[in-house]
């Protein structure tokens, strides 16, 4: 199966999570007018855990990209904030009875991060260029918070 990478927009991504970006008018102007604040843009949910900030560094991948594994975190949301200005690939899928349904792939624009809602099926972190460095806001806490699903039929993401 071929999945075409779509541009990441808040509307298209809404079933899966939040797009974190300075889009539309700011909510507040601070610092004597020199800084806009787009306020509280992620639906964070850490269940019985708490928020933490970690740093991830992932190997850059390339398109076409073959995806054979999806995962989800049943206990919490997970935000990926790129510490660089290049697009990265976000693969997600709706749930279909406890397994991933038809996958979709999104290509970010510079300045866009994402927050995956709790329990959203997604591919592993796939930057497309170095340094592949992200700040990640996710759940710190006890208990298993990772469910993996290996696909019988891998799919290929194309531009």
Question: Cβ distance 56 to 88 under 8 Å?
Answer: no
- Rounded Cα distance between 125 and 133, Å, is 10
User: How many binding residues for a second copy (CB under 8 A)?
Assistant: 47
Q: Indicate the residue among 96 and 129 with the shorter CB distance to a second copy.
A: 129
User: Which two three-digit tokens encode residue 61?
Assistant: 């991948």
Q: Which of 9, 10, 58, 151 binds a second copy (CB under 8 A)?
A: 58
Q: Which of 131, 143, 154, 159 binds a second copy (CB under 8 A)?
A: 131
Q: Which of 10, 41, 147, 149 binds a second copy (CB under 8 A)?
A: 41
Task: Note whether 76 binds a second copy by CB under 8 A.
Answer: no
Task: Note whether 4 binds a second copy by CB under 8 A.
Answer: no
Task: Note whether 52 binds a second copy by CB under 8 A.
Answer: yes
Q: Could you please report the per-residue DSSP string of 69-118?
A: EEEE-TT--EEEEESSSS-EEEEEE-EETTEE-S-EEEEPPTT-EEEEPT
User: Which two three-digit tokens encode residue 152?
Assistant: 């019988």
Q: Which of 1, 12, 53, 99 binds a second copy (CB under 8 A)?
A: 53
- Rounded Cα distance between 110 and 112, Å, is 6
Question: Cβ distance 1 to 151 under 8 Å?
Answer: no
Residue numbers at the binding site for a second copy (CB under 8 A): 20-22, 26, 30-32, 34-42, 44, 46, 50-59, 69, 79, 81-85, 110-111, 113, 115, 124-125, 131, 133, 135-137, 140
């Amino acid at each position: 199966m071929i999945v075409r990478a779509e541009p990441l927009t808040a509307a298209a991504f809404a079933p899966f999570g939040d797009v974190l970006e300075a889009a539309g008018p700011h909510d507040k102007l601070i610092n004597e007018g020199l800084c806009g604040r787009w306020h509280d843009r992620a639906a964070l949910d850490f269940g019985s855990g708490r928020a933490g900030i970690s740093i991830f560094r992932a190997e850059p991948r390339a398109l076409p990209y073959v995806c054979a594994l999806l995962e989800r975190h049943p206990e919490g949301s997970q935000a990926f904030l790129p510490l660089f200005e290049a697009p990265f690939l976000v693969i997600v899928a709706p749930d279909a009875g406890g397994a991933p349904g038809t996958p979709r792939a999104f290509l970010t624009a510079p300045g866009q991060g994402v927050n995956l809602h709790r329990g959203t099926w997604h591919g592993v972190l796939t930057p497309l260029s170095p340094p592949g460095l992200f700040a990640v806001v996710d759940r710190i806490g006890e208990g298993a918070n990772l469910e993996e699903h290996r696909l019988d039929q891998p799919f290929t993401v194309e531009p």
